Homo-oligomer: A and B are copies of this chain.
């Protein structure tokens, strides 16, 4: 984000890690030595691991002044709860750019990552019209497509889009390797590789995603029921065909 914005905006960056600050400075980002030096500003973007989002908002609240606090966490309910108890004049908006890669660190930063991708804007009780406008401008400045949705819609969809596929890949990997009876290394084709790829997600990213996705238990129950429906349809080609047709149709819609 900083790389994409720095030419047209006055961007300052802060990271608690000196190495990250040096890497950002080497790519032309002005860096500051303390979180407090980010204010005053029009907006402060909080882009930390999920567990650090609310503590960072808490640290920024007393010093934010007129700056809109914008956070990019992958789940929003904890931010919504913080907004309910935040100091009165602090403005907080959640955003979620639907873009990413498996790489990490400033060295992997790509200012073009957000172009043409949905940029979800998720209001809290502390999002006024001008704060929402700043968040929308941020999304457009990155080349994204701003779309407003509620905390509950956001977190519900993220469970289905992120946490459930991760859980499914983990379960499939464990089951396939246990039940094949032979080493899978030579036998696994692109189908199994694609279907299990998310099981390689770093554990430190995977744990909070599975733990905090509000609807995941319900979604896993739904997935288990869908598997049971396939199991029941084995031996009844018409039912099996109907299930497969519906899945192909849903897969086509998912590709957009």
Contacts and interface: CB of A to CB of B under 8 A. Distances in A.
B200 A248 contact: yes
Indicate the size class of the contact surface on chain A. Answer: 35 or more
Chain A interface helix/strand/loop/mixed: helix
Interface in A185-234: 185-189, 191-201, 203, 206-207, 210-211, 215-224, 226-231, 233-234
Contact of A237 (B182, B207, B231, B244): B207
Contacts of A229: 171
Contacts of A167: 227, 230
A101 to B, nearest CB: 8
Interface in A150-200: 153, 156-157, 159-162, 164-189, 191-200
A195 B173 contact: no
A235 interface: yes
A220 to B, nearest CB: 5
B188 A247 contact: no
Given A166-B191, A207-B244, A177 B224 contact: no
Interface of A: 98-100, 118, 145, 147, 149, 153, 156-157, 159-162, 164-189, 191-201, 203, 206-207, 210-211, 215-224, 226-231, 233-235, 237, 240-241, 243-248, 250-256
